[in-house]
Amino acid sequence: MKSIVISKSDRILRGSILLPASKSISNRLLMIRAISGRHFEINNLSEADDTCLLQKQIAYVLSVIGQKKSIELDVALAGTVMRFLTAWLTMKPGKWILTGSERMKQRPIGILVDGLKHLGASIDYLAKPGYPPLLIRGTAMHGHELTIDPGVSSQFTSALLLIAPYLPDGLILNLKGKTVSSPYVNMTIKLMQKFGAKVKEGKTRIHVKPGSYLPCDFKVESDWSAAAFWYEAAVFADEVDIELIGLQSDSIQGDAILPAVYQNFGIVTEFTGNGIRLTKMRKKIDGFYFDFNDYPDIAQAVIATCAGMRIRGRFEGLKSLQIKETDRLYALKNEISKLGIAVEISTQGENLVTLEINSSKSTFPSGLIFETYGDHRMAMALAPIVMKSGSLKIMNPDIVAKSYPQFWKDLQIAGFDIQW
């Protein structure tokens, strides 16, 4: 398996980094454009593998509509692509087989499928019930009101909302239970409203009126989720003065909470005309607690930060991490344990999943080799630990292309040495 060796001879973090465009915003814009059937320009579209795949699959679907034979679409590891295409294809004439990697076939989709069937969709499971692959027959949709559990994946909710203006009666979506990753649902709603959809959001109910999306050109902001790994590196550094270009203070991304999170670690965030500037002040921290229910994509970076600083940490709201590209809790436990830190995962009831790490005074082991489990965020969260260890090896480094293709090059810009 391919690997890289990362080293850092000092603990200085300086430079100017252009962060990638938001994958989450880009994917929603591509779906709004596809669903509407009306063209508009998307400037600064993400170059992440997931977005490129979604763009390619949409183009392919549009080129083969009307064929009588079944058309197979492979979404590989892209969960968003699987969920968004599932909803869209229910309304597109044809027979569609939607499949993915072996890991994708282990990721649940039953809540979304049940909801779509309630609205008139024709969907069959081709293997294990509740999981891909799916056979979707495009048909006229109906229905008006639907109740779903939003506690498994926000992408189920977003997928339903995105097609809702094109349902004959719109959609009243009742949310039964606590919503996971609610900022991503809020992002979907704000983008829908930007393109003219009539959406009224309540605490447990979202009402989308029938209508259509109105085309307007849109520039995608940089990805706050990608900034998490730079915040992590800043905590490990002794001297920090780094600019992250493209981030907005009025962002619609939930992970824009990062300045508040990392203030606890002494990181100072200054908004500039181009993005943000990170500096550091001395601050003692003995332990850290956080609930990641709304912010799962920064969990690995924050947990790795505490592990690298060898401080106690207690983290909740982690249930959704078990059904991501890998079981991220299992992966975190395995890799953080290599630092000589005790990691405990516990489950209380159906939804409360907790990960705890203990503080440690031991030195960092030499010759660290980190596995990435086919997970882009595992690779990026583990890499900054080199500022504490001096050198380490990352397996399967190319996986970062899923969301941040230039990550390793950007580390080099910031003074990290990388040997391929």
Active-site positions?
A: 297
DSSP for 59-94? HHHHHHTT-SSEEEEE-TT-HHHHHHHHHHHTTSSS
Q: How far is CA 327 from CA 45, 141, 363, 375, in A?
A: 29, 35, 28, 9
Structure tokens at 302: 């924050």
Burial pattern 141-154, b for ≥16 Cβ within 10 A else e, equals bebeebebbbbbbb
Burial pattern 210-230, b for ≥16 Cβ within 10 A else e, equals eeebebeebebbbbbbbbbbb
First to last CA, the chain: 12
Provide the phi-psi class of 148: left if phi over 0, else alpha when psi is between -120 and 50, else beta. Answer: beta
Please give the backbone phi and psi of residue 233, each rounded to the nearest 5 degrees, phi first.
-60, -35
Q: Which of 19, 54, 17, 29 is nearest to 219 (CA)?
A: 29
How far is residue 10's CA from residue 278's CA, in Å, rounded to a whole number?
18
Q: Which of 31, 356, 407 is nearest to 188 (CA)?
A: 31
Amino acid at 69: K
Q: Which of 268, 258, 188, 184 is nearest to 224 (CA)?
A: 258
How far is residue 332's CA from residue 355's CA, in Å, rounded to a whole number?
9
Which residues are within 8 A (CB) of 160 and not within 5 positions of it... i.e. 6 or more apart? 87, 112, 115, 116, 146, 148, 171, 173
Strand partners, 279: 268
